A = this chain, B = another copy of it.
Amino acid sequence: MLPAKKRWLNELKEFLSLASISTDPAYRKEMIKTAQWLSRHLKNIGLSSELIKGSGHPLVYAEKIIDARAPTLLICSHYDVQPVDPIEQWETHPFRANVRKGRIYARGASDSKGQLFAYIKGAEEAIRSGKLGMNVKFIIEGDEEANGKSLAEFLAKNQKKLSADSIIYAGGAMINKDTPAICYGVRGLLALEIEAWAFKDNLHSGSFGGGFANPAEVLAQLLTSVKWKNRQIAIGHFYDGTTEYSDSDLESPYSEKELLKMTDAIKLVGEKRFSTIERISSRPTFEINSFASGYTGEGFQFIIPNRAVAKVSFRLAPGQTPKRAFGQFKKFINMLNPGTVKISIRKVDEAMPALMAKTSLIAIAAAKSLQRVFGRKVAWYRDGGAVPIIHDFQQITANVIMVGFGLLDDNIHAPNEKLDLKNFFRGVEFARDLLMGS
């Protein structure tokens, strides 16, 4: 291994040793320490940097302005990580990075410290070589895993500071271990809790069964009415604004056979006329995420439960908004409510969908750099999950994409998280190449 690579690896290990768990208040000091470490590191490699306080953990901002008239690339990522439970399933300590078989194992290795660090090292290389071809800005948040709003809030008030000609969200996965990928779409989200309330207490089903509405049954009826039999969503005007097109470029990291094997599912199902990859990455969906009613422990309670609660969520396609979907859902449920129970609906979370142009300047430049580094054509994909900040970035510029170097089996949010070192180094090379603007 080249001396430079050894140094990068040692620095990455140091970064990964900081337990920046944003969701657990016990790690508040570690969060500050991590932000400070990161800011100091960015200064050391030649950027100016500062910590920015907001509603959550500090944001780390850094920039290297070579010329006010030159184009600016903003790179966004996060330094916080998921909790480590179940800790006993880790083969090595989650905060003592361990290299085995060409992979680095640690919490945050793939999501997203390792990926972010590849961009940072790429910037360092470009600066060091004297060939940095554009202004570069980093905005790195500490609330991504905590679903915090501090980055969005800062962005809303500091569009000038974060002004850029192009934005890369540094994160995500490659299509497979040797094929680079660009993500050009994320689904939106509307997460709700819905309750059907029937009685002040559970009723004995022997003494009262047959004469009263059962809230579990009513809620089950309402929620199963949300989709037609053909699996399309039955809510009026729900699809308004979405485009029903097949994108022949859209690539899937998995074959259908692999998806079945991974999940043990009996079969793949979904909307007709759409491929599996479209169904799971670009089409709107409705899922029951949880359903609870009655006594669900050991044994049997002969009751009509007094209430039933479900957590449900919509994934939204570009053209839809969580606000409109929420209004439509409430109207739909109120229309179908049989009037035998009290229904209440509470919004828990929301995110705007986003579609990013594959023909934007940054998309074309990134695809070129990726092809140069990997020696392969780039795969284009859409992420079925939510990255709400993408929509906010699109208010700054249309030149937005996501590029990451993780793999889908990196165990993010799980024990033994890892990152392929070969792809970490390719990531450094990509960032250097891109920033040199060659």
Query: Are A340's CB and B267's CB within 8 A?
Result: yes
**Of B198, B207, B224, B295, which contacts A265 at CB under 8 A?**
B198
Report whether A279 and B315 are in contact in the complex, using a CB–CB cutoff of 8 Å: no
| Chain B residues, Cβ within 8 Å of A133 | none
Let me know if A293 is at the binding interface, CB within 8 A. yes
Residues of chain B with a CB closer than 8 A to A211's CB: 259, 268-270, 276, 279-280
**Interface size range of chain A in the complex:** 35 or more
Residue A152 CB within 8 A of the other chain: no
A193 closest partner in B (C-beta) = B300
Given A259-B211, A263-B203, A265-B199: A292 touches B296 (CB 8 Å cut-off): yes
Q: How far is the CA of A342 from the CA of B265 in the complex (A)?
A: 9
Contact residue among B199, B210, B288, B300 (Cβ-Cβ distance under 8 Å from A293): B288
Contact partners of A315 in chain B: CB under 8 A: 205-206, 209-210
Cα distance, A214 to B269, chains bound together (Å): 10
A307 to chain B, nearest CB (A): 11
In the complex, A13 has a CB within 8 A of chain B: no
- Chain B nearest CB: distance from A106 CB in Å? 21
Q: How many of these chains are in the complex?
A: 2
How far apart are the CA atoms of A53 and B220 in the complex, in Å?
A: 46
Contact with B along A337-379 (1 / 0, CB 8 A): 0011110000011000000000000000000000000000000
Q: Which listed residue, B206, B210, B220, B300, touches A223 by the CB 8 Å rule?
A: B220
A76 to chain B, nearest CB (A): 19
Contact with B along A213-237 (1 / 0, CB 8 A): 1101100110110010000000000
Q: Is the CB of B308 within 8 A of A294?
A: no
A295-319, CB under 8 A of B: which get 1 and which 0? 1100011111100111101010000
- Given contact pairs A200-B264, A265-B198, A266-B342, A311 touches B294 in the complex (Cβ within 8 A): yes
A305 touches B280 (CB 8 A): no
Q: Which residues of B contact A310 (CB under 8 A)?
A: 216
CB of A251 within 8 Å of the partner chain? no
> Distance in Å from the Cβ of A320 to the closest Cβ of chain B?
14
For chain A residues 22-70, which have a beta carbon within 8 Å of chain B?
none
Name the residue on B nearest A217 (C-beta). Answer: B288
Closest partner residue, chain B, to A276 (CB atom): B211
Q: CB < 8 Å: which of B289, B300, B340 contacts A269?
A: B340
Known: A294-B288, A302-B191. A279 touches B210 (CB 8 A): yes
- Which residues of chain B have C-beta atoms less than 8 A from A204's C-beta? 385
Chain B positions within 8 Å of A145 at CB level: none
Report B-chain residues with C-beta under 8 Å of the C-beta of A385: 204, 206-207, 302
The 11 listed contacts between A and B (C-beta, < 8 Å) are A189-B302, A205-B289, A206-B385, A209-B280, A212-B280, A213-B267, A266-B339, A289-B303, A290-B294, A291-B291, A292-B296
Please name 5 further chain A to chain B contacts, defined as beta carbons within 8 Å, in addition to the given A209-B280, A220-B223, sorted by A numbering: A210-B270, A217-B287, A220-B224, A287-B304, A289-B302
